Amino acid sequence: MIRGADIVVRSLIAENAEYIFGYPGGAIMPVYDALYDYADQVKHVLTRHEQGAIHAAQGYARVSGKVGVALATSGPGATNLITGLADALIDSTPLVCITGQVAAHLLGTDAFQETDMMGLSMPGTKWNIQVRSVEEIAPAIAKGFHIARSGRPGPVLIDITKNAQVEFGEFNYVPCLGIRSYRPYVTVELPKIQEAALLINEAERPFVLFGQGVVIGKAEEELKAFLDKTGIPAASTLLGSGSLPESHPSYVGKLGMHGNYSPNMLTNKCDVLIAVGMRFDDRVTGDLKRYAKQAKVIHLELDPAEINKNVKCTVPILGDCKQSLSMLIDAVKPNSHPEWMQRFREFENEEREAVMGKDLYATQGGLHMGEVIRLINQYKEDDAVLVTDVGQHQMIAWRYFDYKKTRTQVTSGGLGTMGFALPAALGAQLHNYNRQVICVVGDGGIQMTIQEFGTIMQTKAPVKVVLLNNNYLGMVRQWQQMFFDKRYSFTELENPDFIKIAEAYRIKAVKVTEREELSEAVAQMFIHDGPFFLEVVVEKEDNVFPMIATGCSVEEVRLS
C-alpha cells in the first residue's frame, strides 16, 4: 500500500516519462514530496512560471515525438496552464498535464485556490478528468497517455484532489491499449485510393500541400517517395516545414499569408490539389470563397472533423497518411511535370529579385532580420531545431531557415502564442543537450516569459537565443502601417537592457548594432559551450513580404 502521490509518480515512470516540467504549490505538494524519492528515475524541471512549464513540455514533445508532462498546483497554478493547453490542442501536441485540487469534501465551497478546472479546460483539451480517490489515479493516467498520443495527438488534463494524493492504495499499473467507443485510427479505403490515383495520373497541373500530419504520422519517407515517383510540385505549411528537405526537386516553398510567392500564386491554377496532413487553416487559404475552386481536391487526413470543414474535397482519404501515402505510391504512375514546375520557378525568381535580395543581402541601412537567419544557416547543423515565438521574426525565420531534417520546426502555429519560444526551446534542448536548439524571438514576446532565463540558468541547457529587436510589436505595427494609415497605436516598445538581464542570469550575452559585427557574433554564439544570448538591433519599420492581407485571395499575394 502506497500513497496516491507515489502512485502518480510511479505511473509517470511506467509511461517512460523522462522529464516533468512544473511548479509546486499546496494542492500538489504530496506529489512533489513523492518526487523527492524518485529523482534517479524521472527528472523534474522547476520552471519559473506554470505557462513556462507547459510550453517547455510542448517543446519537448514536438522534438521528441513523446508525450510531454507538466505539473501544477490548483487555482492560479492550474489556470496558468490554460494558454498552453489551447496551444497544444490546435497544434496537435501530445501532453499530459496533472494539476492538484482541493480535497474532495471541499469541492464547490470556494475553498482556498479552488478552481473549476474541468469547466475551464474542457474546450482546450482532448480529454480531461477529475480524480477524487486513490483507486482512480493509475487508470486515469494510463487512459490519459493513451488518448494524448493516439490518433491526432493532443493535451490531456488530470485534476487530482489532495485527499486522493494522501490516501493509501495498491499500485498495479496497467497501460491503456484501447477505450470503448474511442477509435483513433481507421482503415484506409482502397476504392478511395484508386479514385485519387486516377485523378493524379490524369492531372496536368497537380499540386501537393503537406502539413504537420506528415511529421505526426512519421510519413516523411512516404511523402518523399510519392513525390519522387510523380514529380508533383509540393509546398509546406508552417508546421509541416522540415518533413521534406528543401533541397528536394519537388519542393517549391511555403504556403500562406507570409509564405512564398509561387505556391500562393499557383494554388488557384492547379487542376488537382493533394492535401496531406494539413487542415486548410485560414492563414493558408485566404478567402475560402476564392480558394482552389478550379481544382479537384484530394484530402489525406486522420481527423474526420477536418474533412470538408473548410475546403470541400472531391476524394476524402481518411486514415493515417503513412498508410494512405504508401497505398498511393503503389497506385500512381511514374510521371513528371516540367512545364508546370517551370511556372513555379519563374515566380520564385520574381520573389527572389523583389524581396529576398533586400532581406538577405542588404549592404546599406539598418540590419534586416533575414540577414541574421542567413548567417545562422551557415553555422547550424543539419538537425538543428528552430524554435520561434510569434510575429515578424517568426515569419522571417520560417521563410529563410534551411530545413533539412524532420522535427526541426517548433513554433506556436494555430494559437499564435507570444511567449512560447523561450520555454519551448528549453524543453526541446533538454531532450538532447548535444543537439543545436536555436530560439529566435522578438522583443515583445520574450518579455512575456523572460523569467525562464532562470530555468535555462539552473539546467545549464545550451540554448542559443537570438533576439531580433526592432523596439516594436512588429507584426501589429506592419498592419498598422499598411491598413491603419501608420497610426502606431501602442505598438512601440521602450525596452530594458536585455544584455544586463541575460548576464544577471549568468548567460553569455552579446549585442550587435552594426552589420560588420554580425558574422563574428553569430560564429561566437555557435562556438560557445553553454547558453548564449545574441541581441541584434534591426530596422524598426522593416516589413515581411510576400503577404496576403485578410480577406484576400491567395493569388492576391503582395510582394511589397
* β strands within 296-346, DSSP E: 296-301, 315-318
pLDDT of residue 210: 98
Q: List the strands of the sheet with 508-512, edge to edge.
A: 409-410, 385-388, 437-442, 464-469, 532-537, 508-512
* 229 is annotated as an active-site residue: no
* 113 is annotated as an active-site residue: yes
pLDDT of residue 116: 97
* 342 is annotated as an active-site residue: no
Q: What is the DSSP letter of 226?
A: H
| Digit-coded pLDDT (tens) for 322-331 | 999 999 999 9
On whether the CB atoms of residues 488 and 462 are closer than 8 A, the answer is no
Q: What cell was used for 251?
A: 519542393
For 99, 367, 393, 413, 424, the CA distances from 418, given in Å and listed in that order, are 23, 23, 12, 11, 11
On whether the CB atoms of residues 177 and 146 are closer than 8 A, the answer is yes
Q: Could you say which of 29, 43, 66, 113 is catalytic?
A: 113
Q: How confident is the model at residue 345 (pLDDT cuts 50, 70, 90)?
A: very high
* 492 is annotated as an active-site residue: no
- DSSP for 229-288, written as a single string: HH---EEE-TTTTTSS-TTSTTEEEE-STTS-HHHHHHHTT-SEEEEES----HHHHBSG
Q: What are the chain's domains?
A: 2-169 (3.40.50.970), 190-343 (3.40.50.1220), 369-537 (3.40.50.970)
Mean pLDDT within 489-513: 97
The residue type of 559 is L
Q: What is the per-residue burial (b if ≥16 Cβ within 10 Å, else e) of 436-454?
A: bbbbbbbbbbbbbbbbbbb
For 44, 469, 502, the CA distances from 514, given in Å and listed in that order, are 41, 13, 20
Separation of alpha carbons 143 and 178, rounded Å: 8
Q: What is the mean pLDDT of the chain?
A: 97
| Digit-coded pLDDT (tens) for 4-22 | 999 999 999 999 999 999 9
Q: How confident is the model at residue 405 (pLDDT cuts 50, 70, 90)?
A: very high
| Digit-coded pLDDT (tens) for 283-336 | 999 999 999 999 999 999 999 999 999 999 999 999 999 999 999 999 999 999
Q: Which residues pair with 532 in a beta bridge?
A: 464, 508
Q: Could you say which of 21, 51, 143, 162 is catalytic?
A: 162
Q: Could you say which of 15, 21, 50, 143 is catalytic?
A: 50
pLDDT of residue 169: 97
For Cα atoms 355, 253, 464, give the angle at the middle one, nearest 5 degrees. Answer: 80
Q: Could you say which of 265, 369, 475, 525 is catalytic?
A: 475
pLDDT of residue 274: 98
Separation of alpha carbons 97 and 118, rounded Å: 13
Q: What cell was used for 30?
A: 504530496
pLDDT of residue 212: 98
Phi, then psi, of 232 in degrees rounded to 5:
-85, 135
* 351 is annotated as an active-site residue: no
Q: Could you say which of 112, 168, 483, 484 is catalytic?
A: 112
User: What share of the chain in percent tops pLDDT 70?
Assistant: 100
| Digit-coded pLDDT (tens) for 172-193 | 999 999 999 999 999 999 999 9
Separation of alpha carbons 24 and 20, rounded Å: 12
Percent helix, strand and coil across the chain, each rounded to 5?
A: 45, 20, 40
For Cα atoms 256, 542, 344, give the angle at the middle one, nearest 5 degrees. Answer: 35
